[in-house]
Amino acid sequence: GQQVMQIPQYQHVQEGEDFTTYCNSSTTLSNIQWYKQRPGGHPVFLIQLVKSGEVKKQKRLTFQFGEAKKNSSLHITATQTTDVGTYFCAGRGIGNMLTFGGGTRLMVKP
Amino acid sequence: DAGVIQSPRHEVTEMGQEVTLRCKPISGHDYLFWYRQTMMRGLELLIYFNNNVPIDDSGMPEDRFSAKMPNASFSTLKIQPSEPRDSAVYFCASAGNYNEQFFGPGTRLTVL
């Protein structure tokens, strides 16, 4: 079946440093979504990418969808303590099933 | 809208007991999903419904788990009998189409 892998599993950064998480699918995706889960909270939708090579920005967050529609990345510029949490990608593939990656847990030292 | 509502928020039970988790999706959403989250296995899709009909239950771990959606505004996930390895956070999510999913606050289940 479809598998979605995320790396790294954990990332510690100093406040102000940049952060990137990568998402790779075993199959071509129709679209990919990103969610953020704060500690003790629930996943919250951030964005959806649909087109090959698509790049979207939300303030300090930049999302990319690969040309082959099998990978994606989330980059945060100049992290802040409010960025702490786990970031999940979720790829939609065959049968329109949404498969979540394992998540990248971001910790920011003030 | 109050968002997706789940109850109870916390449940502590003893092994062998029946556990019922409840979910009220966002009004008008056609899709409802049940997920389980643990440190070891991450976020796993257990089952999802479309227009109250179960579409894919391949993620349900075993026969001890069952889910129902008797109407558009209510769903239950039942574990009978419960086991310690069922301890996890169970999320319900709803969606209006094949776009974003709205997650509820989750039910933290502890089976002793």
Q: What residue has token string 């788990």?
A: B65
pLDDT score for B1: 65
Amino acid at A83: D
Sign of CA dihedral A4, A102, B100, B63: positive
Would the CB atoms of B42 and A48 count as touching at under 8 Å?
Answer: no
Tens-of-pLDDT digits for all 110 residues of chain A? 778 999 999 999 999 999 999 999 999 999 999 999 999 999 999 999 999 999 999 999 999 999 999 999 999 999 999 999 999 999 998 767 788 999 999 999 99
Collect all residues of chain B within an 8 Å Cβ-Cβ radius of residue A45: 100-102
pLDDT at B98: 67
For B28-48, what is the mean pLDDT? 93
Q: Inform me whether the C-beta atom of residue A93 falls under 8 Å from chain B C-beta atoms.
A: no
Nearest to A42 among B42, B99, B106 (CB): B106
Chain-chain contact of B43 with A33 (C-beta, under 8 angstroms): no
What radius of gyration, in Å, describes the C-alpha atoms of chain B?
13
Closest CA to A41 of B100, B108, B8, B12: B108
Closest alpha carbon within chain B to A100: B43
Mutate to test the interface with B, among A23, A34, A36, A42 (most CBs of B within 10 A): A42
**For A43, nearest residue in chain B (alpha carbons):** B103
User: According to the model, what pLDDT value does residue B62 have?
Assistant: 84
User: What's the pLDDT score for residue B27?
Assistant: 95
Inter-chain residue contact A88 with B43, CB threshold 8 Å:
yes
- Asked whether the beta carbons of A91 and A25 are under 8 A apart, the reply is yes
**Residue matched to tokens 């049940």:** B34
Q: Which two tokens stand for residue B21?
A: 């988790």
Provide the β-strand partners of residue B92.
B34
Confidence class for position B2, pLDDT limits 50, 70, 90 = confident
Beta pairing partners, A5? A24
pLDDT for B74 equals 97
Tokens of B70: 């008797």
- pLDDT, tens digit, 9 for 90 and up, residues B61-109: 889 999 999 999 999 999 999 999 999 999 999 998 767 999 999 999 9
Chain A window 19-78: which residues touch B at a Cβ cutoff of 8 Å? 33, 41-45, 48
Residue A42 and residue B105 in contact, taking contact as beta carbons nearer than 8 Å = yes
A7 touches B at CB < 8 Å:
no
Q: Which residues of B touch A33 (CB under 8 A)?
A: 100-101
Q: Determine contact, residues A43/A37, Cβ cutoff 8 Å.
A: yes
Residue B16, pLDDT score: 97
The residue among A69, A63, A31 whose CA lies nearest residue A50 is A31
Summarised one tens digit per residue, pLDDT across range B43-67 is: 999 999 999 999 989 889 889 999 9
| A100: contact with B, CB 8 A cutoff | yes
Beta bridge partners of A57: A62
Give me the pLDDT at residue B64, please. Answer: 95
To the nearest 10°, report the CA torsion of B34, A2, B43, B61: 60
Residue A12 vs residues A74, A100, B32, B45: alpha-carbon distances, Å:
16, 22, 34, 28
